Amino acid sequence: MPENEIEEEIEKEELQEEVQSKEEYIGGGDFPVALDETLGTAGKHRPSGQQKPKSKEDNNFAKVSRQLEKQTAQLAMLGAISQRHLKNEDSQSTMLKEINTSVKQLQRQLAQIQKAVEKIKPSRTK
C-alpha cells in the first residue's frame, strides 16, 4: 500500500473516531449523554430480546479496545512501510557496492591504458 494511501486511511480513521466521539458527547458537554436520554426512551420498557445498556465501565473498555485495534492496524501499516524501506536500503546498498566495484575496475583499466599510451609516446619520438 503506497504511503499516500496509508496516510489517507489514517486520516479517514481519525475523522471517523472524531465523529464517534462527537456522537458520544452530544451537546458539547463534558459528560457523555446516553443514547436513551437523547432519544427520550430512558426508563421505557424494552422487548425481552434487547439487552440492557452497557455500564460506563463497559463503554470505556469498548472504547479502549477500538482504539487499540486502530493503533494495532496503524502499527502494522507502519511496519509494512518500514520493511519496504529496509528492502530499498538493502537493494541500494548492494547497488552502491556494485557501482564501487565497477569504478575500481574502470580505474584499473584506465591506468593500464595510460601505461600503454606512455609506452607508445616514447617510441614515436625515436
Which amino acid appears at position 90 of this protein? D
Q: Is residue 2 part of a domain?
A: no
Mean pLDDT score, 16-37 = 56
**How far does Cα 100 stand from its chain's mean position?**
33
Q: Is residue 112 part of a domain?
A: yes
Q: Is residue 109 part of a domain?
A: yes
Q: Which of 16-20, 45-49, 77-81, 99-103 has the lowest mean pLDDT?
A: 45-49
Burial of 6 (0-12, 13-18, 19+ CB in 10 A): middle
Q: Is residue 7 part of a domain?
A: no
What's the structural domain count of the chain? 1
Q: Is residue 44 part of a domain?
A: no
Domain housing 117: 12-37+58-125
Residue 25 has pLDDT above 70, yes or no: no
pLDDT at residue 30, as a whole number = 45
Q: Is residue 51 part of a domain?
A: no
Specify the pTM.
Answer: 0.36
